[in-house]
């Protein structure tokens, strides 16, 4: 069973472009907070708030050794969202497959109907 509050927190975290960019950067490997803050031109405190939001919903984790905090992407952090999307995608795909079958049946029967109409004409 999916935890909808977990999905909501992931979506709230991902709605912010800065957080998505941080995730993009972390997908290439771990980085320190200073390295993550560098391209954004914002205060260290502001970047820390973004990191806290990402960590709170389980998308990243951080570790502090001495004075250096290193962040890394959390494997499986997006899994709840991926599961939620899959649960909605599968029924839609089934409906589309069935629609395709119906349309294929209609296409196959259409020439017969048209040929029969031609034969019925004087």
Q: What is the mean pLDDT of residues 9-14?
A: 95
32-85 pLDDT, tens per residue? 999 999 999 888 899 999 999 999 999 999 999 999 999 999 999 999 999 999
In this structure, is residue 43 part of a structural domain? Answer: yes
C-beta separation of 20 from 101 below 8 A: no
Strand order in the sheet with 31-32: 31-32, 68-73, 60-65
In this structure, is residue 101 part of a structural domain? Answer: yes
Distance CA 12, CA 97 (A): 33
Band of pLDDT at residue 28, cut at 50, 70 and 90: very high
* pLDDT above 60 for 113: no
Residue 76: what pLDDT? 93
Q: Is the pTM of this model over 0.85?
A: no
In this structure, is residue 56 part of a structural domain? Answer: yes
Residue 78: what pLDDT? 93
In this structure, is residue 108 part of a structural domain? Answer: yes
* Rounded (5°) CA angle 51-39-53: 10
> What CATH number does residue 83 fall under?
1.10.10.10
Residue 59: what pLDDT? 97
* Rounded (5°) CA angle 107-108-112: 110
In this structure, is residue 121 part of a structural domain? Answer: no
Number of domains in the chain: 1
Please state, as a whole number, how many other Cβ atoms lie within 10 Å of the Cβ of residue 112. Answer: 9
Q: What is the mean pLDDT of residues 111-122?
A: 58
């Amino acid at each position: 069973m999916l935890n909808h509050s977990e999905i909501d927190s992931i979506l709230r975290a991902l709605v912010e472009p800065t957080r998505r960019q941080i995730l993009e950067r972390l997908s290439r490997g771990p980085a320190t907070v200073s390295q993550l803050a560098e391209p954004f031109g914002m205060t260290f405190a502001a970047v820390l708030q973004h990191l806290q939001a990402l960590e709170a919903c389980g998308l990243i984790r951080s570790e502090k050794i001495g004075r250096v905090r290193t962040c890394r992407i959390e494997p499986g952090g997006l899994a709840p969202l991926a599961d939620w999307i899959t649960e909605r995608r599968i029924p839609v795909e089934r409906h589309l497959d069935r629609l395709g079958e119906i349309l294929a049946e209609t296409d196959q029967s259409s020439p017969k109907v048209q040929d029969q109409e031609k034969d019925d004409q004087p």
